[in-house]
Amino acid sequence: MDYFKLLHFRKEPFSNSPDPDAFYQASQHMDCLQKLELAIRMRRGLNVVIGEVGTGKTTLCRQLIRKLDQNPKIKSHLILDPSFASGREFLVTLVTMLGSSPPETAATEQQLKDGIKQHLSRRSSDDNKIVLLVIDEGQKLPAFCLELLREFLNYGTEESRLLQTVIFASPKFEAIAAANKNFADRITLHQTIGPLNCQETRDMIRLRLDQASESGKSPAYFSRAALWVIYQATKGFPRKIVNLCHLIMVTMVIQNRVRAGWYLAYACARKFFPEQARQWQRRQIGALATVVLVMVLTAVGIDQLPVLLNQRSAPPVEQTAPATPAPEIAPPPAAPATPASGPPAVPAQAPPSAPVIATPEKLPAVPAPATVATPIGSWDDLTLLGEITVGKGETLGDMIRRIYGPYSFTPANTKKVLASNPQITNPNRVGPGVTIAFPAMPVRLPPQFAEVFWVQTATTARLDEAYRLLRKFDGQAPPMIIIPVRAGQEGLQFTILLENYCLDEKTAKETVAALPPPLAEGAKILTGLDKRRAYFK
């Protein structure tokens, strides 16, 4: 049984055939159609539409023909694959397509061209018709075809051309046309189309779902987070959007789901577009990087957003949190205050243990006092977080990103790691089996309040155990990060969180439900703040 019938669709919503009924009227596409129609009606001659592979050129081409065919004065002809072997083959195809007398086997190329000219002249003057030739995949046109088209463009009167031509092609066609200047000079309309933006991507998906629904209005099969994943993975290219959405809906049927959340969409995107998914993770902007790391620390119990420092410093003065959470990151104080009490005792090193999976609960928010608070634990007496042995296929940069955060692979941080590992002579060549010590990098907290929801997957007392968990679920779960925390008798603990936070508890619960069973069974939703701890990158 077809998957779309199981979801109560009357047809497949994400078919990859160029269906004009499924045409999404993006502003750039409608602008292109209007300009093409105007140029054709005015008999301007040659028009070119350029777009990357998958931007919807073929669908736009079909939409143009469908729209113009409603006008009895316009006769359209479509060439899908213009990769002709010879000029004669191209001419014979045109003669047959235009419906003139069948060419004689012994007819020369000049006789074929004369026959085409006579046909065009008759249709234009006697019948008052507009003859339109539409060529898809124009980048496949050989040079001799361009020369023949240039000759056809010379057919006309003082006021108009006898043959109207529209070529849909990839950017490769621009170099081909530039090499044939006599042809390029005859282009009267040169239009470029690009991918969709985020809002257009969402609207296109909803349009296809609604059109395919039996009732004309489909349920919300994709969460907002899933739609964002689709846009990021596909970059807004319609063909990629259709293919990824098809895979997601098939996966929904297989897993007996009625709605795709962030993780399901992300898992499908990584499977379908692995390279795009990796680039997507690397391209997060700097401001978002700061917010992510800041809010991660919030999840494990902080009353203030953190600003990362490259040097060690004492805890700053903590201020009362504002009544309303502020969305922006405040700058750190000019001079940190000295803790009211003396240096805290050094807690004993926690014994090795396996990751402990916590049960879901919500941590109560701790109000920020107006006086200076003393963290439980200290910065100065802790120099190393732990040691990890490099695995097969891992690089030093990958390990730094996993331990210190997704945006921490900087020259300054790399220098600190190398300072703790004099055995590493070339950071670009760190092979499997090498043991690397990772130094503790403290975090300083400015007075800023925030409350979001985070999904904690595990806690452990050893860095290598935490890193082992990240390795185990690599590719099976959303990206996870390690947050070192030090507090009193608990000693140094490593909290493992999903890299992306949630704005509400409902989304957090959906995220937990989408996790692999070993993680989902004991995942813990964190919120609330606690400033009695010392945190490290």
Number of domains in the chain: 3
Let me know whether 291 and 271 are in one domain. Answer: no
Give me the percent of the chain exceeding a pLDDT of 70. Answer: 72
Is residue 332 within 8 Å of 290, Cβ to Cβ? no
pLDDT tens digits, 426-465: 887 888 888 999 888 765 544 333 456 778 888 888 888 8
Let me know whether 352 and 459 are in one domain. Answer: yes
Q: What is the pLDDT of residue 256?
A: 80
Is residue 366 within 8 Å of 331, Cβ to Cβ? no
How does DSSP classify residue 222? B
Let me know whether 202 and 69 are in one domain. Answer: no
**Between 309 and 194, the higher pLDDT residue:** 194
How does DSSP classify residue 76? E
Average pLDDT of the chain?
Answer: 75
Domain assignment present for residue 397? The answer is no
Let me know whether 131 and 224 are in one domain. Answer: no
Domain's final residue, options 263, 282, 301: 282
CATH number at residue 276: 1.10.8
238 burial class (0-12, 13-18, 19+ CB within 10 angstroms)?
buried
Query: Which pLDDT band, with edges at 50, 70 and 90, does 252 fall under?
Result: confident
Let me know whether 224 and 252 are in one domain. Answer: yes
Let me know whether 317 and 239 are in one domain. Answer: no
- From CA 535, how far away is CA 537, in angstroms rounded? 7
Q: What tokens does 223 get? A: 């969460």
pLDDT tens digits, 84-120: 999 889 998 898 888 766 666 677 888 888 888 888 8
Q: Is 70 exceeded by the pLDDT of residue 277?
A: no
Is residue 327 within 8 Å of 458, Cβ to Cβ? no
Q: What is the pLDDT of residue 474?
A: 75
From residue 22, give the alpha-carbon distance in Å to each of 30, 80, 89, 211, 242. Answer: 14, 20, 34, 8, 11
388 burial class (0-12, 13-18, 19+ CB within 10 angstroms)?
buried
Q: What is the pLDDT of residue 238?
A: 92
CATH number at residue 92: 3.40.50.300
Q: What is the pLDDT of residue 196?
A: 92
In sequence order, the β-bridge partners of residue 439 are 384
Mean pLDDT calculated for residue range 497-523: 81
**Between 252 and 369, the higher pLDDT residue:** 252
Mean pLDDT calculated for residue range 494-517: 81
**Between 197 and 396, the higher pLDDT residue:** 197
Query: Which pLDDT band, with edges at 50, 70 and 90, does 487 fall under?
Result: low
Tell me the backbone φ, ψ of residue 523, rounded to 5 degrees.
-65, 150
Q: What is the pLDDT of residue 2?
A: 65
Q: What is the pLDDT of residue 47?
A: 95
Domain assignment present for residue 371? The answer is yes
Let me know whether 227 and 273 are in one domain. Answer: yes
Domain assignment present for residue 469? The answer is yes
Which H or E run includes 495? Answer: strand 491-498
The residue count of the chain comes to: 537
Domain assignment present for residue 148? The answer is yes
- From CA 274, how far away is CA 268, in angstroms rounded? 9
Let me know whether 302 and 153 are in one domain. Answer: no
> Which residues are CB-neighbours of 289 under 8 A, at least 6 positions away?
405, 406, 407
pLDDT tens digits, 24-33: 889 899 999 9
* H helix intervals, 154-237: 172-178, 181-184, 198-212, 224-234
pLDDT tens digits, 41-68: 988 899 999 999 989 898 899 899 988 9
Of 255, 252, 259, 262, the C-alpha closest to 232 is 262
Mean pLDDT calculated for residue range 68-96: 90
Let me know whether 260 and 290 are in one domain. Answer: no
Q: What tokens does 246 get? A: 């098809």
Domain's final residue, options 139, 174, 193: 193
Q: What is the pLDDT of residue 313?
A: 38
Domain's final residue, options 169, 193, 217: 193
Domain assignment present for residue 350? The answer is yes
Q: Is 50 exceeded by the pLDDT of residue 344?
A: no
What range does the domain containing 208 cover? 198-282
Domain assignment present for residue 266? The answer is yes
Most confident range (mean pLDDT) of 172-181, 302-311, 356-365 is 172-181
Domain assignment present for residue 391? The answer is no
Domain assignment present for residue 394? The answer is no
Lookup result for tokens 């003396």: 342
Let me know whether 208 and 263 are in one domain. Answer: yes
Let me know whether 29 and 99 are in one domain. Answer: yes
Let me know whether 236 and 119 are in one domain. Answer: no
Most confident range (mean pLDDT) of 137-146, 478-487, 510-519 is 137-146
Q: Is 50 exceeded by the pLDDT of residue 312?
A: no
**Between 328 and 3, the higher pLDDT residue:** 3
